[in-house]
Structure 1
Amino acid sequence: MLLSRRDVDKYKSFSMPSRDITQQIFSELLFSHCLTKASLKAFRDCALQDVLLGDYPRVKDSWMDVIASQGSSLLSADLSGSAVTDTGLGCLKDCTNLEALTFNYCDRISECGLKYISGLMKFESLNIRCC
């Protein structure tokens, strides 16, 4: 069965396929600019490892609970250029295996937001520019 980009909003969950297949579906939706807030909900608790939304349009705090639902599976996230705030960044506090986080040009994140993620100890890369 082929997944049609225009039909992606019909799916309520992508938790059944393997993690690799789910990650590929997610990445393809990003690449084709077909990921929406509605389709993102289908990825709740899917154990995605990489959520690279850098400069993806419309990303804001309302997306963060689904991103954070990846929990300890989430290894890298890029929120660059998004409208995510300190509160949204705080959603990542339980993503304990997060190794790489990028949020360049996020003018709604301040030092207060950094306090939320200060307990994450596995960072290999933390990129913050022009915030």
Structure 2
Amino acid sequence: DIYTEFSALKSIVMASPNDVVKMPINEPAKGKKQSQIEEYVDFYSGAGVQHIALRTDNIINAITNLKARGVEFIKVPSTYYDDIKLRLKKQGLVLNEDLETLQSLDILIDFDENGYLLQLFTKHLMDRPT
């Protein structure tokens, strides 16, 4: 079970034998407020694919190629990167990637004491909540 103060979900992750493909199966669990999973299930009147995540060893090349093929990603305000620069410095974390390049591609940076994750999100493909 995964939970916060307000919402929760039950999650089981299935993986291919070589661990290349992973598929989390999530269902809502009781919480103080409606969870994102409940909202999705209620809106679509049932289960479905909420999102797809892809892993790459080179996010800069991958995103550059996807953008060249017409994939549209959300825009990240420059203030995000101003803040992240300060937080990275405070943490003493040095990225392997060039921060200016990450910013130019709107790539988000999430980190803790164990390392960092680079990610970004496409624009919504549909006008319904996901």
Taking structure 2 as the reference length, what is the TM-score of the superposition? 0.25
By percentage of residues, which structure has more helix? 1
Flag the structure with larger Rg. Answer: 2
Taking structure 1 as the reference length, what is the TM-score of the superposition? 0.25
